[in-house]
Each structure stands twice: as C-alpha cells, then as structure tokens.
Amino acid sequence: MSILNADLHCHSIVSDGTLTPEELAVRAAANGVELWSLTDHDEIGGQQRAAAAARTQGMKYLTGTEISVSFAGQTVHIVGLGFDAGDEALRRGLAATRGGREERAREIAGQLALAGIPGAYEGALKYVGNPELISRTHFARFLVERGVCRDTGEVFRRFLTEGKPGFVPHRWAALGDAVRWISDAGGIAVIAHPARYRFTATEEYALFVEFQAHGGRGVEVVTGSHTAAECTQYAQTAREFGLAASRGSDFHSPDESHTELGRLPALPADLTPVWELLAGRIQ
Ligand code: AMP
Ligand code: MN
Ligand code: MN
Ligand code: MN
C-alpha cells in the first residue's frame, strides 16, 4: 500500500479542537492527506461524521481516539486507531474516562478564582463543544480572551500545569485498560508524542515495556510536538521494541497549532507504518 501522506492525530470540537470534523477533513484533503484519522480525547462521538467527510474529500480513513492514562504519576496519551467504533467495552471505557472532567473543571475554576480570575468555569464552557469534555484547553482559551495571557502556550506555562494555579491532579484510565479497550475492539494502540512526558529513563522504559506487555503495538515517531532530534530518538525506540510507527500533526486549531494537518516529515523508511498493520481496517 503506497500511502505517502498519513495524518493520524488531530482534534475537533468534539474534544478540544476548534474545527468541526467536516472542516478538518476539507483542510486535511487540501494539504494532501491521503489517510486521515480524527483522534478526539477520550471520545469517539465524531467518528461517523469524520469517516463520511473523509469519503466526501476522497481520503481513506481510520477510526481514532486519544485516551488519557495515568502512569507513574503523569498523564500519558494513548492513541487508538482502526478499532470498531461500535464496541461496547471501548465505549464504556471512554465514558468512564470522561467522567471526572466536570468536577475537575469546577476545581480548576475554584483555584483560578483564588488566583484572582473569577468566572472561569462559565468562561471555559463557552468554548466547549461537548459537555462531557471540558478540557484545560478550554480554560486556556478563556484566559487568553480575558487578556490574562497572550496565547494558550503562555497559559500552560503560567497556569493549569503542575505547581501552577489551576492544576488539579486527576486519575485517568489505567494503561492496561486503555490498551485493551483499543486492541479488543480490533484496533492498534499507539503511545502518543513520547517526547512530551517528563519521565526518567527508567520510567520511560517501564512505560514501553508495560505498554507492549498489555498488547500495545505502535509509537508516534513523527508528531507535531517532536523536534527532528526527537523523531530520530523515537524511531530508534520503535526499532528497539519492534513497534510500528505512527505519524500525526496533533492539530487543534488554525490559531493555536504550529503544525498543519498533513505537513509533517516522512517516517524513516525502515520502520513499519502503523497503517500497514491496519490495512483491513481502512475505510
Ligand atoms: P486535559 O485533557 O484537559 O488535561 O487537557 C490536555 C490538553 O491541553 C492537551 O491535549 C493539549 O491540547 C493541551 N495542552 C497541554 N499542555 C499544553 C501546552 N504546554 N501548550 C498548549 N496546549 C497544551
Ligand atoms: Mn488536546
Ligand atoms: Mn496528547
Ligand atoms: Mn492530541
């Protein structure tokens, strides 16, 4: 299968992106994407629309999601690709993972109020497309709107992250559960943007070993959040562990994302692209 431009990671208004699945599909196709996946956080409510829009735009499609997982005291993201979107255990697992977001959002807003920024819960809600998916990104947009910060990057440096006002520790899904929900639904689990985590070498090794032991088969080597050196580094990790490689922009918004849909370096030629393992799942 000769797919040159696959983009298997992005977000719509169904999670914390600002475009609809249809708008994303138009944008991906205009940028030459041949195989696309919409991977909203902890949610597959946009999958039917995305698949239909991909068809309209002449792109191949893989179902997708990005599951929030707690591992060794940090949040790790696991992308799932090519699963059966009707799978009941997967749907239940994602619903449970979304479950604590509302209460967490109220606590985030409480902390921001103490830091002198009132009304953040209502303010963030204006940006939310899916009431079950209030995210830190929506708070970041509100803080930019209020003029507290110049852009969402500055918000995450000054607020909402560990040690800063508005950081609320949260227990997400277990690694093994997330990998199993995806695999048992016929898909492949992929460690998202591995360079983003702040693990020691030992912790990172444990993440890859446990991920693989639970049935995980892929790693994002080329992503919008990796430098060229990080792509090289995680290509080597893929070789060492015998993992397939994925490629995705992690596009959220024309105003916020540095990496455009489909505008990414190619995967190193010796790696197995994750879509080769999913040939039978491509729509
Ligand atoms: P949440 O799932 O509510 O914890 O929000 C996580 C989301 O916040 C990520 O998926 C990103 O979209 C966004 N995010 C996290 N860290 C940063 C950052 N440093 N700069 C910009 N966006 C970030
Ligand atoms: Mn996000
Ligand atoms: Mn992520
Ligand atoms: Mn993402």
Output the pLDDT for position 112.
98
Q: State the sign of the Cα–Cα–Cα–Cα dihedral 233, 35, 93, 11.
A: positive
Find out whether the beta carbon of 27 lies less than 6 Å from any atom of ligand 1.
no
Output the pLDDT for position 46.
98
Find out whether the beta carbon of 153 lies less than 6 Å from any atom of ligand 1.
yes
Find out whether the beta carbon of 156 lies less than 6 Å from any atom of ligand 1.
yes
Question: What is the number of the ligand closest to the CA of 158?
Answer: 1
Report the SS3 class of residue 198. Answer: coil
CA of 137 to the centre of ligand 1 (A): 6
Output the pLDDT for position 2.
86
For atom 13 of ligand 1, the residue with the nearest CA is: 137
Q: For residue 146, which of 172, 118, 174 has the smallest C-alpha distance?
A: 118
Output the pLDDT for position 132.
97
Find out whether the beta carbon of 137 lies less than 6 Å from any atom of ligand 1.
yes
Output the pLDDT for position 1.
58
Find out whether the beta carbon of 41 lies less than 6 Å from any atom of ligand 1.
yes
Q: Which atom of ligand 1 is closest in space to residue 161's alpha carbon?
A: 16
The helices-and-strands tally (H runs, E runs) of the chain is: 11, 9
Question: Consecutive sets of 10 residues in the chain, 283 residues long: mean pLDDT of each?
Answer: 91 98 98 98 98 98 98 98 98 97 98 98 98 98 98 98 97 98 98 98 98 98 97 98 98 95 98 98 98
For atom 20 of ligand 1, the residue with the nearest CA is: 153
Find out whether the beta carbon of 250 lies less than 6 Å from any atom of ligand 1.
no
How far apart CA 153 and CA 137 sit, in angstroms, is 10
Rounded to 10 degrees, the C-alpha dihedral 182/184/188/193 comes to: 30
Output the pLDDT for position 276.
98
